[in-house]
Amino acid sequence: MFQYFASLIEGVSNDRLRLYLYHIPPIAVVHFSFPLIERLIAHYPGVVAGIKDSSGDWEHTRQLIECTLLAALRIGAAGCISGTANVSARLFQTIYTSWQIAEAEVWQTVVNKVRQVFLGYPRIPALKAIIARMRGESAWKNMQPPLLPLPESERAGLFEQLTDAGFDWPALRGRELL
């Protein structure tokens, strides 16, 4: 893995290059180990600009935060990258703009519950099923191989669990559900 990134970085050979590592082993089948991340940062200072951890492994995420939070704060980190935000953008925006008030804890609790529901399903097919329902456009359920659409039998359970978790279905008001 290090050799791949070294070839990429040296091949681009541009001081403006910034890489954001996307740690999503269930889909990419690639694991960004801490030694790999540390080695990349040591060999190419300033190039690795961030990492998105979608591993679903809280211990890995916790260790990543402990290793990188101070550095991230010092360079002005101000948010997060989240697949869940694709269907909960309004809630994420509310948290982002109102993080100082007590209600933000309640909103974060909803985000956490929704995230837990997602962990029980293949992420991309689940997100696309939700978007299809919210937009009333079944074409959103289509997937590119090797991914498969979320089976109809699982969609009903996903939607029910999301509703129980406090998920807001704003685009559905006045629309027929898929």
Please report whether residue 98 resides in a domain.
Answer: no
Tens of pLDDT, residues 27-78: 777 788 888 988 898 899 889 888 888 887 878 777 776 565 444 444 455 6
Residue 112 shares a structural domain with residue 60: no
**95 within some domain:** no
Give dist(CA 130, CA 141) in Å, integer.
Answer: 8
For residue 159, the enclosing domain spans 103-172
Question: Tell me, what's the pLDDT at 148?
Answer: 93
In a domain, 80, yes or no: no
Identify whether 53 is part of a domain. Answer: yes
pLDDT for 123 equals: 86
Total domains in the chain come to 2
**Cis peptide upstream of residue 26 (ω within 30 degrees of 0):** no
Q: Which pTM does this prediction carry?
A: 0.61
The tokens describing 99, both together, are 């993080």
Whether the pLDDT of residue 170 is over 70: the answer is: no
> How distant is the alpha carbon of residue 55 from its chain centre?
9
Summarised one tens digit per residue, pLDDT across range 86-109 is: 888 888 788 777 777 788 778 878
Whether residue 168 lies inside any domain: the answer is yes
Verify that 107 and 165 share a domain, yes or no.
yes
Which residues make Cβ contacts (< 8 Å) with residue 86, sequence separation at least 6?
127, 131
